[in-house]
Structure 1
Amino acid sequence: MDRQLTSSRRKRSTSILSHWTLRYFLILCIGFTVIAAGALYWIRTTSIEKGLKTAELLGLEIADRVIVKDHQLQVPPNLNMIVSKREKLFNTDHYFCVMVLDQNNKLVFSQPEMQQKDVYYRLSDDFLEPRNNKYAGVMVDIVDGNQVMGKVWVMQSKQSITFGPETIWLVALIFGGLILCGWLTIYLLSRKLSRPIRQVAYAAQQIRSGNYDVSLTLNTREREINELVSSFGDMATRLRQLEEWRTLSLAGVSHELKTPVTSIKGLVMAVRDDVVNPQEGKEFLDIALKESERMERMIADLLDYNAMTAGSVTVRKERTDLKLLVGEIIHQWKIAYEEYMPEVQLHTPQGSLYVMGDALRIQQIIVNLLNNGLHATPPGQQAQFHIHVRAAKNMLHVDVQDNGTGISLEDQPKIFERFYRGELKKRRNRGLGLGLTYSRLLAQEQGGELTLVSSSPEGSLFSLSLPHWVSEEKMQISEKTYRSTVQA
């Protein structure tokens, strides 16, 4: 069911270009249709008002020319000519007419010529308005003194004084042109915006299928689009590097774990098949035991790292005397590696230095640095270490200096990456390359940091920084000192 819904959604999906252009076109059509209807209504109303005012002027002129004699209306003989000249001011049609009626609503004059029955056809029963609402007219009274002696009607169709087909076509062409211009604008913008998105989407499909060699060379003036394309390109490059690194790391881990297993298997089979004598068999078993211990350490490192990244390793933060802790760590470590006779010199300032951290995790970090320095010592040379404990601002630092062969320049940026092991380290000792990675994670969980300060053929210097614990009394004293300094 879910697959059917997903497939139906994919079928209904459209491109950004068609989606936005179609909807914007519909919005433009609806909007301009409403505007055009309002404009035509306004034009019609305004035209009717202007047409009626012009007709009223004609009616007043005719009313002034009609003569009242003996309570009878007399029309001047040249009135037909006058009306014909004035018709040029009107957009007349077959319904345009001028009628002069007496006080009994009898037809006295008409242009064009009409009969009395035509008056009843054109005017209402009370002779006060046009009978058909499709037509408009204006009535002007003919006054003699204070007495109304008749009326002049000037009538014409509303269509003739509003707009004709030419006006409708002109309005349609104007609004049609505006719609097309608006649609063309949104089409060009949508196409320009959709082009980089299509390229990024295609690149994402390539990455999803496992092809990380994608190239995005699009360059536009829009800063956001350039940032999107550039960031996606960097992400693709980073993913390719991570994939390559994952493959190499998996191969390295498999190799490092397979080597001791193969060695143990061969040694045990030699003892079982009596290939060696009892004395040699004991030596073979001792070698197999050492190989199993190495493999156990590698598996423990891998488990510790996985637990740390999964958040299942708890790191406590408590007040600890760093000078005392480092001294105990050095003493215990020298006993464990007494056969190598390492020389360790501890340099500490006067007074107590308290740190907020986990004593067990700090021990793991320092022991790992000492082990790495011991393994980096050339054969036949005594391992020497100088450990300095110092305070700087609100942090305490433990600097571990060894006299090993150092780390090459190309390896220094990568030593804290998981499963990374330099060529020299690969040849000298086995491991998964998780020691420094795990140590840095432990330092960061305690609010500190582990960094490589320097490295050369004469040795390497690592620095572990941890938060300095300060008592509340000292904090109050320092705060008072700061305030007095500011006030002074």
Structure 2
Amino acid sequence: MGHLKLPGNKQRTSILSYWTVRYLLIISVGLLVTALLTFWWIQQEAMNNRMQTTALLAQEIADRSVSPDGIVKISPGLQKLVEDRKRFFKVTVEMCVIITGPEGELLFSEPKLTDEEMRHKLNDSLTDARSPEFKAASAAIQGDGEALGQVIVLQSKRSLQHIPQEEITFFSIIIISLIVLSWLTIYLLSVKLAKPVQKVAAAAAQISSGQYNIVLDTNAKEREIHELLISFQEMAGKLQQFEQSRAVMLAGVSHELKTPVTSIKGLVHAVREGVVEGDEAAEFLDIALLEAGRLQHMVADLLDYNALTAGIVAVRHDKLDAVPLLEEIVYQWKLTQNGEVLDPLLHLPGKPLLLRGDPLRIQQIIVNLLNNSLQAAVPGTPLQLTVSLTEAPHGNAVITVTDNGPGITPENCEKVFEAFFRGSDKQSTLRGLGLGLTFSRLLAEAMGGSLALDSRPEPGCTFILTLPHAL
């Protein structure tokens, strides 16, 4: 997938290149610094260990250089002992053994030294601690409790700090292997992470171009990647549903708004052209006014819904006495029906029940529920409405509106609160946008409550409005 170039934006690198290159640099520098410090530590430890061994050798030579009579005696096998120790330490000329008498005179040296060369070596190793050439280990030759002389073993610093080539090669192979394995690990991880990200990016590009039918391979072993792919695919499906709903909604809204406009235009045109006159013309104008009222109501519903979803509708949270409030709401609604329906039954508590909310918004919700029940009434069957008020155990006030209508089918129970949804029976008999229940639920939630449909399989329909109790 190519890189997207935007004006003013620099070229972006891929995850694979970005992480592998940086990780390679970091691991290489880190391991090289670690290797240098390790080599330095090994050299120091090797030098200390070899100096301890050299001191033991000096003591061994001192013990062998004393005769049973308590005098200094150079053993004939001393030179062979020194040669054996040189082979053991894997050195040749770097080791020098010097035996001096009580006055500091030269008694033995290996290799052979003159007295002047001996003093020069001893001065360099014993008096100059920063000498880059030799380090000395000494042991006194004791006989009958007195010092008979001294054994001095000199070794060059180079031989003391020497690390065999085999060890250097082995250690270098380990360092290089660690760098390669570390880089390979981060490379494989980057490839593993980059692939799903690239798939999601490609899918996002398809969505931005209007193609919502996205299919991703979600069989990833990693839980986080699997959840990412599943969530993105579900999001794409939701967007596709929203887009389809938007198209259906737009078509429905356009149709519902077009119908009264067309009707009003036809009726007014008939009156204006004189097609109808007298009482018939007045009847046509009354019908036009009725259609205009319906059109105004639908536009108001649409504006209220948009305003509430945008969060620009103010909702109050007053402390209200629910009993007289419900009585007044039901009474006013009954007056608007012109005696066409039976009085709703009120089941109210005998004591005051305080709740917190907006009285105007509560009235909107209750009136909308009552109107829905009226619209759903079965022809020829008297409508029975019941409004109940109870106090829930969790500090809430519960208002229920129940009717004896045909109820809501199970497949529509989950859809009744969706915007612009109307049942098939209402689509053929009533004109509206299907925003009443959606708007009512949004109002209930804005007051800190909820609006739900009772799912119990009983005749009729029951809506449950829950509002917070005012303490």
Question: What is the TM-score of this pair, normalised by structure 2?
Answer: 0.83
Shift of 1:384: 0.9
Distance in 2, Cα, partners of 1:290 & 1:399: 32
2:420 is matched with which residue? 419
Tell me the distance in 2 between the aligned counterparts of 1:325 and 1:41: 89
**Is the CA contact (8 Å cut-off) linking 1:123 and 1:130 kept in structure 2?**
no
2:311 alignment partner in structure 1:
311
Cα distance in structure 1, aligned partners of 2:252 and 2:53: 100
Unaligned runs of 5+ in 2: none
| Residue 164 (1) aligns with residue 164 (2) | yes
In the superposition, relative to structure 1, how do residues 130 and 318 fare at CA in structure 2: closer, same or farther (>3 Å)? closer
- The farther-off stretch of 291-300 and 79-88 is 79-88
The C-alpha deviation readout for 1:379-431, integer Å capped at 9, x for no partner, is x5355132132324344443333344432222221111111122221111111
Which string of whole-angstrom CA distances, capped at 9 and with x for unpartnered residues, describes residues 454-476 of structure 1? Answer: 58896322233334556xxxxxx
Distance 2:451 2:382 in 1: 22
Q: Is the 8 A contact 1:321 1:352 kept in 2?
A: no
- 8 Å contact 1:405–1:456 — kept in the other structure? no
Helix, strand or coil at the partner of 1:7: coil
2:45 equivalent to 1:59: no
- Aligned residue for 1:480? none
> Structure 1 vs Structure 2: percent identity of aligned residues?
43
Residues 295-310 of structure 1 correspond to what in structure 2 (within 5 A)?
A: 295-310=295-310
Map 1:211-250 to 2 at 5 A.
211-220=211-220, 222-250=222-250
CA apart distance, 1:144: 6.3
> Judging changes above 3 Å, is the alpha-carbon distance between structure 1 residues 126 and 209 closer, same or farther for their aligned structure 2 residues?
closer
Match of 1:436 in 2: 437
Question: Separation in 2 of the partners of 1:246 and 1:385?
Answer: 36
Note the alpha carbon deviations across 1:345-391, whole angstroms, 9 max, x for none.
3132462443423332222222212222222235x535513213232
Distance 1:383 1:82 in 2: 127
**2:464 paired residue number:** 463
Question: 1:300/1:87 Cα in 2 relative to 1: closer, same or farther (>3 Å)?
Answer: same
Shift of 1:308: 2.2
Q: 1:137 maps to what in 2?
A: 136
2:427 is the counterpart of 1:399: no
C-alpha spacing 1:292/1:132, structure 2 compared with 1 (3 Å)? same
Q: In the aligned structure 2, how far is the partner of 1:325 from the partner of 1:131?
A: 101
Q: Aligned in 2, Cα 1:80/1:360: closer, same or farther, shift over 3 Å?
A: closer
**Could you list the per-position Cα deviations for residues 261-308 of structure 1 after superposition, in whole angstroms to 9, with x for gaps in the alignment?**
222223333333444455544433332222211110001111222222
Cα pair 2:125 2:131 within 8 Å, conserved? no
Q: Contact 2:65–2:74 (CA<8 Å) still a contact in 1?
A: yes
1:336-355 equivalence runs, <5 A: 336-338=336-338, 341-349=340-348, 351-355=350-354
**Given residue 9 of structure 2, which amino acid in structure 1 is its aligned partner?**
S
431 and 60 in structure 1: CA distance in 2 versus 1, 3 angstrom threshold: same
* Distance in structure 1 (CA, Å) of the matches to 2:181 and 2:59: 49
Counterpart residue number, 1:388: 387
Q: Which residue of 2 aligns with 1:484?
A: none
Match for residue 375 of structure 2? 375
Distance in 1 of aligned mates of 2:124 and 2:86: 27
* Counterparts of 2:183 and 2:19, CA distance in 1: 10
| Structure 1, 40-49 or 141-150: larger mean CA deviation | 141-150
Task: Give, in whole Å, the separation in 2 of the partners of 1:436 and 1:173.
Answer: 74
Q: Distance in 2 between matches of 1:376 and 1:183?
A: 71
- Please say if residues 31 and 179 of structure 2, whose CA atoms lie closer than 8 Å, have aligned partners that are also in contact: yes
Which whole-Å CA distance do the structure 2 matches of 1:400 and 1:74 have between them? 123
2:26 is aligned with 1:50: no
Q: State the AA in 1 paired with 2:424.
A: E
Contact 1:52 1:138 in 2 (8 A): yes
Contact 1:374 1:383 in 2 (8 A): no
**Structure 2 counterpart of 1:459, one-letter code:** G
The CA distance in 1 between the partners of 2:342 and 2:271, in whole Å, is 39
For 1:86, the equivalent position in structure 2 comes to 85
Paired residue for 2:9? Answer: 7
